[in-house]
Amino acid sequence: MSQSQQTISAADQGPVRPYDAIIIGAGMAGLYQLYRLRELGLSVRVFESDAGVGGTWYWNRYPGARFDSESYSYGYSFSEELLQEWAWSEHFSAQPETLRYLNVVADKFDLRQDIEFNRRVTAASYDEDVNRWEIELEDGSRARASLLITAIGILSAPQMPNVEGIDSFQGDSFHTSRWPHEPADFTGKRVAVIGTGATGVQVIQEVAKTAGHLTVFQRTPNYCAPLQNGPI
C-alpha cells in the first residue's frame, strides 16, 4: 500500500475508529511496539506525522549523521532471521544505512499496513468510565483504544535558539532535526554552527570540508574522543 493510500480523509473515517491499541510514532520504538502487539493478536493503529518510517532517522539527515554506538547494538533482536539477513557495513552506521534498515524491517514484517503516514495527533484524553483513550488528529478525525503508547521519543520537537534577529535573518538556516531532503551546499560560504554536542561534532567535521569560513559557538566544552569508525 502506498503512503498516499494510507493518508485517509476525515470524511472517510467515520466518527471514532476503535482499536485495541494506538501507537503515536513509527520510529524505532513505534515499529517494535507494533510488531509485538500484533503478535499478541491485538488490533493496532500507528499514527505517524512524517511521510515515512524511521522517526529520528527519517529527519536527522544532516551532514555526518550517524549512530554513535556499535551498529549491531541498535538492531532488533526479536527475529533470528532478520539478524542473519542484515549485515551492517560500518561499526558506527551512517544515517542512510540506519534508515534503510528500518524500512527493510517495516517491509519484511508488513508493518505499513497498520501505519497511517502524514497523520499528526493533536490531543489525547482518557475516559475513566469506559477505560478508553481517545485521540484526535489534526484533521479532526478521532480514534479510541484501551492502550495508548506514545513512541514520539525525545527528539521529535525541535527547539530553535532564542537568538535576537533570527526571525529576520536573510540567509539559509537549518535545524539538524529538520534537515531538508535535498543536500545543502556550503561551498565557500560563511557558516555558523551553534552547539558542540554529539550532533554538533558530526556536523562540524563535514561542513568544515567545504565552507569558506566556519565559526562554532560553544556554551560548554564537552569531552569528545575519536570515533575510530571503519568497515565491518
Residues 117 and 209 in one domain: no
Confidence band of 159 (pLDDT split at 50, 70, 90): confident
Residues 64 and 27 in one domain: yes
- The DSSP output letter for 139 is T
Confirm whether 160 is domain-assigned.
no
Cβ atoms of residues 102 and 31 within 8 Å? yes
Residue 5 has pLDDT above 90, yes or no: no
Question: Which of 104, 115, 153 shows the shortest CA–CA distance to 34?
Answer: 115
- The DSSP output letter for 184 is P
The stretch 121-138 carries a mean pLDDT of 96
pLDDT of 165-189, one tens digit each?
888 989 999 999 889 888 899 999 9
Question: Which of 214, 173, 211, 176 shows the shortest CA–CA distance to 192?
Answer: 214
CA quadruple 91, 209, 62, 174: dihedral, nearest 10: 160
Q: Which three cell numbers stand for residue 8?
A: 485517509
- Whole-number pLDDT of residue 9: 46
- The DSSP output letter for 114 is G
Confidence band of 6 (pLDDT split at 50, 70, 90): very low
pTM (predicted TM-score):
0.88
Give bridge partners of residue 194 from the DSSP assignment. Answer: 217
Residues 78 and 26 in one domain: yes
- Whole-number pLDDT of residue 7: 45
Interacting residues of 183 by C-beta distance below 8 A, sequence separation 6+: none
Q: What is the CATH number of the domain that holds 95?
A: 3.50.50.60
Confirm whether 34 is domain-assigned.
yes
Question: What whole-number distance in Å separates Cα of residue 18 and Cα of residue 15?
Answer: 10
Residues 91 and 198 in one domain: no
- The DSSP output letter for 168 is G
- Whole-number pLDDT of residue 1: 44
Residues 55 and 26 in one domain: yes
Give bridge partners of residue 22 from the DSSP assignment. Answer: 45, 148
Question: Taking all residues of the chain, what is their mean pLDDT, rounded to a whole number?
Answer: 91
Q: How many domains does the chain have?
A: 2
Residues 126 and 176 in one domain: no
Question: What whole-number distance in Å separates Cα of residue 108 and Cα of residue 112?
Answer: 10
Confirm whether 22 is domain-assigned.
yes
Cβ atoms of residues 62 and 202 within 8 Å? yes
pLDDT of 31-50, one tens digit each?
999 999 999 999 999 999 99
Confirm whether 52 is domain-assigned.
yes
Residues 12 and 73 in one domain: yes
Residue 61 belongs to domain spanning:
6-150
Cβ atoms of residues 132 and 142 within 8 Å? no
Question: Which of 140, 179, 164, 171 shows the shortest CA–CA distance to 56?
Answer: 179
Residues 129 and 188 in one domain: no
